Chains A and B, each alone.
Chain A
Amino acid sequence: MSKISEVVQRARAAFNLGKTRPLQFRIQQLEALRCMIKEHEKDIVGALTADLHKNEWNAYYEEMVYVLEEIEYMIKKLPEWAADEPVEKSLQTQQDECYIHSEPLGVVLVIGTWNYPFTVTIQPMVGAIAAGNAVVTKPSELSENMANLLATIVPQYLDRDLYPVITGGIPETTEVLKERFDHILYTGNTAVGKIIMMAAAKHLTPVTLELGGKNPCYVDKDCDLDIACRRIAWGKFMNSGQTCVGPDYILCDPSIQNQIVEKLKKSLKEFYGEDAKKSRDYGRIINSRHFQRVMGLMEGQKVAYGGTGDAATRYIAPTILIDVDPKSPVMQEEIFGPVMPIMCVRSLEEAIQFINQREKPLALYVFSLNDKVVKKVIAETSSGGVTANDVIVHISVHSLPYGGVGNSGMGSYHGKKSFETFSHRRSCLVRPLLNDESLKARYPPSMAKMTRH
């Protein structure tokens, strides 16, 4: 048996012992996780700096805070969520107990990705632990420092059999996918999402796939462009554009394109100075392959700002492209880099049509002071989630499910949705074993049974 197989079997054996059933155990593990984060704050920051040039602020604000809040929320709500949920009864079941009983699924696999390598790996884990599962975690090898850190510190705080961390690349991921799990949560790209689902199909394992897409950002003529552009610049260029829910491209009327460019530039200078390369706050591309890929997307485009890069440091300047042709490569794939194409559309209808001709994105953004415009965009498009008049922030609301639709994914998590995703909600009806007088009517022979209700 391979080492990975052993690890998974051990997790299953530990789960089967029933260790994770008592809420106290789960809460204690979550508290240990919280301890781990607090006691290794500096190491976490260090890993994020090494992998993605993130600074302390990024590490706390864009990663750790999400996880800590999730843990907090989970601990507080667990007794309520784990309790049996009574349901409305029918006439025939008035004397019975009818409720939904939440149970752990068993052994969950969480496959993380590299762009927010702490959050997207640990936040799902929090939900899976709270729901009473054993959790096998496979962080992304591309964010190598974080993967190694997690493999080192997680076993120091959490039950080693129940919550193993597996490191490695494609061969290890392929190996682990041969094992049978009771749920798989994968964050990453569409192509690999399909592979994961195919592997899951062999075992009839349900999956949550957090994928990506090109998140459109429609900017209406009727809006405060200063504010809109500042917010867009913040969300787009955060982590050097490597954010699944970042605005991918802008749609706007040609008459405001120049203003948008100017205001984006202004915000970028406020954020990162004249030369973003010198800013402590500006990120780097994860590896050379992605660096080349993103640089390639700029070729042949009209550059209004930026457009340069440095392969040695994997730095790409914050870049704005204008008058972009929808058929060009930069409009064909998720950019996942600090390049913002602006596409001109002559009307709201054209914008909506443009969006609907493409795959459903993970997020959609609309900036307008006109309520009707906002409502129309939401009503006539689809996406995983939406924020109006800002970007990204819908994913910070614990009571909103975080997930995609169509090519951008299936299933969702965060907060209570995490608990539900990683639980089986089992329908239960318990009646007393009294004599059958009252039930005799239902038995054959069935001549007189045709009573209308």
Chain B
Amino acid sequence: MLNHVTGSGWGLHPTGRKGASAAPSPCPSRLKPPGEPEQVWARRPLLPLRMDPYADTLRRLREAFSTGRTRPAEFRAAQLKGLRRFLQENQQLLQEALAQDLHKSTFEAEVSEIRISESEIDLALRNLRSWMKDEKVPKNLATQLDSAFIRKEPFGLVLIIAPWNYPVNLTLVPLVGALAAGNCVVLKPSEFSRSTEKVLAEVLPRYLDQSCFAVVLGGPQETGQLLEHKFDYIFFTGSPRVGRIVMAAAAKHLTPLTLELGGKNPCYVDDDCDPQTVANRVAFFRYFNSGQTCVAPDYVLCSPDTQERLLPALQSAITRFYGDDPQSCPSLGRIISDKHFQRLRGLLGCGRVAIGGQSDESERYIAPTVLVDVQETEPVMQEEIFGPILPIMNVRSLDEAIDFINRREKPLALYAFSNSNQVVKRVLAQTSSGGFCGNDGFMHMTLASLPFGGVGASGMGSYHGKFSFDTFSHHRACLLRHPGLEKIYSIRYPPYSPRNLRMLLVAMEGRSCSCTLL
């Protein structure tokens, strides 16, 4: 199966591709970085059917789905257990791959990739049968004798397109939901996190039933080709720019989708706070994975006074976390690609460097950096940073901060730090974002009981925990009506009499019972 896809001679493996580094950034840029090719995902003419490398795989998976293979809970549980074994038996392999791709520390790999995936698998295994059950719903008076419920059904063939920044987590966690919901799955891991992609393509399928699961590889062109096909659900994590392209492709087949996109996540820091505590938290979440996190605080909004108190606190946090020479610290990641490195290095020229600012092209290393005196019009405030750079923007009041936030696209996450619960709640009430955390970084996404997703330009739909299962299921409304008792329903039949109408109107007036006297 894998050989069929990669061995087709189409040069699908990323190392074989020309221009592999000229790929779209996973997070948006309203100002295109210089040199980025126009419309890398431009629609290509449809290849003739015999040259379509995906048709056979997709047909095979669809056929498997139609046999009903994936329906029984036992099958789905077996897939989830296979996934869990994959993680358990390949920890080291995955850690090495993540270290190669992103210089991810063992700690980060463990906490933000492997453990999170494992706990989602465990949650799904524990709850699978209860999630699969028909959900009974309250009935109105007219349907008291009937059986009314929502049946959760798999959609069929699901496509998951994953990004490179948390290539294990953001591939496997959606996969857990898709498998638990009983779908057949095509996985398209990111070609930028090459080492992890290799493990997912070569090792993962051995743990799953390959009649219902396939990994496909490739870059923008291949993904565009893949998207010409019909899927029953598409789950995409990446940039808003590419999200639009995916949705347009999905529209051709009326395919429902979830888009987990990005944005500039504001971080409001109130005057009423302990600067060191705030600095510890902001720095931790900003520089985690070298800033390449969709929910990381992107920029700080605070008064000039608070900025003065924050700067030494941030420096202190950075030194404590990463030492005097962060470049030699094993806890700090690296930038995924040369293109992104160049982009970020360009951003270092914005405003004034208050902390950090160093970079090393040979390692794609960028020091944990804080910028001040930044203008709103500068590039660092125009695109999602997705790197270890934290600009601080000054505002004179909470109102100004809220206005600033609301002038911009709704972000994936929003943060507010204050000793005053009132201030935190005000920021929450007067803004919108995918998710919100008061007085910490992206802790909200570690709770599987909270839906994780964006709004507006930061995305649509959500997942994690039961939300994953529900996302990948069609919720089918079912009413099993009593086959007799025709007299009760006969009011609805023609010929309609004024008497029946009067009865209906009286019932409507009374408003005490359901009037759909069917």
Contact = CB atoms under 8 A, between A and B. Distances in A.
Instruction: Say whether A and B bind each other.
Output: yes
Given A92-B446, A386-B151, 15 more contacts: A60-B508, A61-B492, A87-B450, A93-B447, A101-B428, A206-B461, A383-B476, A387-B479, A389-B480, A409-B254, A412-B475, A427-B435, A427-B436, A444-B321, A453-B115
B434 A429 contact: no
A7 interface: no
Interface stretch (A121-129, A307-315, A397-405): A397-405
A13 interface: no
B280 interface: yes
27 contacts: A57-B504, A65-B515, A72-B511, A87-B449, A98-B447, A100-B450, A194-B251, A198-B248, A202-B248, A211-B254, A271-B493, A272-B494, A279-B494, A280-B495, A369-B483, A380-B68, A389-B483, A390-B479, A390-B518, A393-B516, A396-B142, A397-B139, A399-B137, A406-B232, A428-B450, A433-B419, A450-B107
Contact of B148 (A201, A234, A399): A399
A51 interface: no
B500 A57 contact: yes
Interface in B424-467: 424-425, 428, 432-440, 443-447, 449-452, 455-457, 459-462
A112 interface: no
Interface string A127-143: 00000000000000000
A433 B452 CA distance: 23
B331 A444 contact: yes
- For chain B, which range describes its interface: under 10, 10 to 19, 20 to 34, or 35 or more residues? 35 or more
B237 to A, nearest CB: 14
Q: Which of B244, B274, B515 has the most CB of A within 10 A?
A: B515
Interface of A: 16, 55-58, 60-61, 65-66, 68-69, 72, 87-90, 92-93, 96-98, 100-101, 103, 105-106, 182, 190, 193-194, 197-198, 200-202, 204, 206, 209, 211, 223-224, 227-228, 230-231, 234, 270-273, 279-282, 356, 367, 369, 374, 378, 380, 382-390, 392-402, 405-407, 409-412, 424-436, 439, 442-446, 449-450, 453
A400 B140 contact: no
A106 B456 CA distance: 10
B447 A90 contact: yes
B481 A386 contact: no
Contacts of B476: 382-386, 405
Given A201-B244, A444-B331, A426 B477 contact: no
Interface string B271-291: 001101110110010000000
User: For the complex, would chain B's binding face be called helix, strand, loop or mixed by DSSP majority?
Assistant: mixed
Nearest to B420: A433
Contact of B252 (A194, A395, A402, A427): A194
Interface of B: 66, 68, 105-108, 110-111, 115, 137-140, 142-143, 148, 150-151, 153, 155, 232, 240, 243-244, 247-248, 250-252, 254, 256, 259, 261, 273-274, 276-278, 280-281, 284, 320-323, 329-332, 406, 417-419, 421, 424-425, 428, 432-440, 443-447, 449-452, 455-457, 459-462, 474-484, 486, 489, 492-496, 500-501, 504-505, 508, 511, 514-516, 518
A429 B449 contact: no
A432 B483 contact: no
A101 B276 CA distance: 29
A444 B451 contact: no
A378 B151 contact: yes
Contact of A443 (B153, B321, B443, B462): B321
A405 B137 contact: no
B434 A426 contact: yes
A170 to B, nearest CB: 18
Nearest to B255: A410
A397 B254 contact: no
Contacts of B421: 430, 432
Contacts of B274: 433, 435
A204 B518 contact: no
B251 A230 contact: no
A429 B443 contact: yes
B514 to A, nearest CB: 7
A436 B277 CA distance: 6
A197 B251 contact: yes
Nearest to A228: B483
A197 to B, nearest CB: 4
In the A-B complex, list the 8 residue pairs whose CB atoms are closest, starting with the nearest.
A446-B107, A430-B438, A197-B251, A57-B496, A201-B247, A385-B477, A444-B331, A399-B137
Given A396-B142, A428-B435, A65 B508 contact: yes
